[in-house]
Amino acid sequence: GQISSWLCHSCRYSSDWSLIQHISVLVRSGITIAFYLGVLSIAVRTVMKEPAIGLHQPIILDGQAPEVSQSSNRALDDPAIAEYTQGIQQDPKDSVAFNRRGVAYYQRGEYEKSVADFSRVIEFEGPSPRNLSNSGSGRVKLDMFDAALDDYTHAIALRDDDANLYMARGQAYADKGLKAEAVADFTRAIERDATMTVAYGWRGIALVELEQYRQGLEDLERYVPTQPTDTMALAAQGFALFKVG
């Protein structure tokens, strides 16, 4: 996008200025070196396919999530998955066990298995917002954006007042490169929950990609103080400042 192009331009900016001089100009323009270094993270995140802000974590409702704490990632352990699998073998229609195992697989990065389990939950319980959102989260990780968007759209049709669902669909749109659609969904999320600062962050980055720099800055200025180490947001903010002068 525009920000990545700026990074490439900066790397070649040596005919008239040295790199140090270029950074100095940016600093004098109000853009810190942290912003400049943040731009570098965009290239890394793009190669690694790492989301810029937040994660597409499954939304687990109704107390069916496996109990995972900071000190004990039980859902990540093979014994936990074995336990859920044993429960499924005893009752092949145990949707709770399928859901918990799907979350465990998701957290382990085994997204194909997680999507398969979430699909079974939908088969047994029906397409609830939670079940559809979980399925969409796994499909995003597999770059199955159209299928994920279908899941989120169906979930939103069932629960239009849920800011998290709009946030999730907006992230899927952004990952697919549909920035305008992403902005619209982040806006809908904010309309339903004005305290969702992460939505301002994602919307700000998308607006910068759409070359709406001043509007993007407004969002990023609201988000960055809450997440001062988010290099992607810092990079977008720095690039927008650079463009507006």
User: What was the pLDDT predicted at 77?
Assistant: 57
**Residue 176 structure tokens:** 């697919």
Query: Interior CA angle at 113 toward 163 and 44, to 5°?
Result: 65
Mean pLDDT of 46-52: 40
| Residue 11 in this model has a pLDDT that exceeds 90 | no
| Residue 35 in this model has a pLDDT that exceeds 80 | no
d(CA 28, CA 41): 22
User: What was the pLDDT predicted at 55?
Assistant: 42
| Residue 37 in this model has a pLDDT that exceeds 90 | no
User: What was the pLDDT predicted at 151?
Assistant: 97
Q: How far is CA 154 from CA 171, 175, 177, in A?
A: 16, 19, 21
| Residue 22 in this model has a pLDDT that exceeds 70 | no
Q: Read off the pLDDT of residues 176-189 as tens digits, 9 standing for 90 and up.
A: 999 999 999 999 99
Q: How far is CA 30 from CA 60, 232, 239, in A?
A: 42, 18, 11
- Which range, 4-18, 34-48, 105-119, has the best average confidence (pLDDT)? 105-119
Q: Read off the pLDDT of residues 189-232 as tens digits, 9 standing for 90 and up.
A: 999 999 999 999 999 999 999 999 999 999 999 999 999 989 89
Question: By percentage, how much of the chain surpasses pLDDT 70?
Answer: 69
Inter-axis angle of helices 2-11 and 231-244, to 10 degrees? 80
d(CA 201, CA 217): 10
pTM metric for this prediction: 0.75
